[in-house]
Amino acid sequence: MTNTLLDNQKIESETPKPRLWMPEQVLFTPAALAEPWGQKIKQRVESLNLPIQELSANRITGIRGETERETYNVAKRTLAVVNAPPSAFKLSPIPPSADWQFHLAEGCPAHCQYCYLAGSLQGPPIIRVFANLPQILDNLKSFERPKEETSFEVSCYTDPLGIEHLTGSLAECIRYFGTRSDGYLRWVSKFDAVEQLLDLPHNNHTRCRISVNAESVSGRFEGGTAPVKSRLQALRKLALPRSQGGGEYPVGLVIAPIMLLDDWELHYTRLFDLISEAINFECDLTFELISHRFTPGSKEVLQTWYPSSKLDMNEETRSTKRNKFGGTKYVYDTDTMKKLRRFFESEIQRRYPFARILYWT
């Protein structure tokens, strides 16, 4: 028996079964129910015995509570199946992650206290999934550059794996990109239920990434997500060859948001040790490194969602950066950035000489 097989058996017996998010209510709009993909989602939701409400109009109402916190609580427990609006068919670029972004859903069931969605999505943080997925996928062809790799990111407004048991939409995207010659899919998650993805015909056109952080960040600030160790075991399964029960996907690690904790070198060295335990074989592996940042808008929303959070969002200790639309974001100062970057890049080069670092930001 090979070492990897022995490792797999040991890891399987030690890894807890993924915990799946179950919404307290599932709303369907009439337009979503008219879509074959909407009906498939309905069958999945029915098989899980979740309470379904068929709405009489295509607008979602009645989610607001008396306080912002109450609205947050109701919204984060609600799944709404709707059609993506016409604006979803006009894609935007998303550097440095990919050429284009598209969306199979908006909103996420987890409760990360730094969540970047706070600055990008408006209104109650309900989880909306799109019933017109086949049309969304069909539209992507027109954005591919012929005879040139064109990448599409599907995790900008949701965690696609966190809702996959309810939708099957991520698997459908992977199947679709497996048939393309120039289009490549990228997704990232903080969840771990990857079993249903392992046998898909991905044709190396999907890069599966898992987002990880030091235990002291994850344990304090990433409510409702899978433990980092379980995420890493999920990544291991995705990367392992098919002959060893894996999915043989190109994979990646997104270390984000990197925070200047007390003893940060120690905490992040422990994270690298965990990564080395899980990914102890050569594979097609990339790293993306994202330092913590926030905007005035995201800070305001996050403070209403998580009023007792201990997350450091003190503008006075940060540098200001302007984005291309004139907005402000708060980042670590240049010296801190250089120090952090040097550490992460040298650890990765030393431990995973076969991996590629895609960017630091």
Residues at the contact surface with ligand SF4, assessed by CB under 6 A? 108, 110, 112, 115-117, 159, 190, 225
Question: Residue 174: what residue type?
Answer: I
Q: Which two tokens stand for residue 327?
A: 């907005």
Report CA-CA distances (Å) from 68 to 7, 25, 64, 75.
47, 19, 8, 10
Closest approach of ligand SF4 to the CB of residue 242, in Å: 28
Judged by beta carbon, residue 225 or residue 286, the one nearer ligand SF4 is 225
Judged by beta carbon, residue 116 or residue 152, the one nearer ligand SF4 is 116
Minimum CB separation of residue 113 from ligand SF4 in Å reads: 9
Q: At closest approach, how far in Å is the CB of 231 from ligand SF4? A: 11
Short-list 272, 252, 274, 275, CA closest to 264: 272
Q: Would you call 184 helix, strand, or coil by DSSP?
A: strand
Smaller CB separation from ligand SF4, 110 or 251: 110
CB of 111 to ligand SF4, least distance (A): 6
Helices assigned H by DSSP within the chain: 3-14, 30-33, 36-47, 68-75, 117-120, 133-140, 164-167, 169-178, 215-221, 228-239, 264-278, 296-305, 334-351
* Closest approach of ligand SF4 to the CB of residue 280, in Å: 26
In angstroms, the CA 196 to CA 234 distance is: 11
Counting Cβ atoms within 10 Å, is residue 40 exposed (0-12), middle (13-18) or buried (19+)? middle
Q: Residue 184 CB, nearest distance to ligand SF4 (Å)? A: 22
Output 21 or 332, the one with its CB closest to ligand SF4: 21
State in angstroms the smallest separation of the CB of 182 from ligand SF4: 28
190 versus 292: smaller Cβ distance to ligand SF4: 190
Tell me whether residue 108 or residue 208 sits nearer to ligand SF4 (CB atom).
108
Nearby residues of 358 by Cβ (< 8 Å), 6 or more positions away: 96, 252, 286, 287, 288
Instruction: Kindly state the smallest distance separating residue 233's Cβ from ligand SF4, in Å.
Output: 18
* Closer by beta carbon to ligand SF4, 115 or else 240: 115
309, with CB counted inside 10 A (0-12, 13-18, 19+), is middle
Residue 215 contacts residue 270 (beta carbons within 8 Å): yes
Tokens at 315, concatenated: 């503008």
Return the number of the residue (108 or 253) whose C-beta is nearest ligand SF4: 108
Q: What are phi and psi of 80, to 5 degrees?
A: -120, 130
Rounded Cα distance, 206 and 197, in Å: 11
Judged by phi (left if over 0) then psi (alpha if -120 to 50, else beta), residue 184 lies in beta
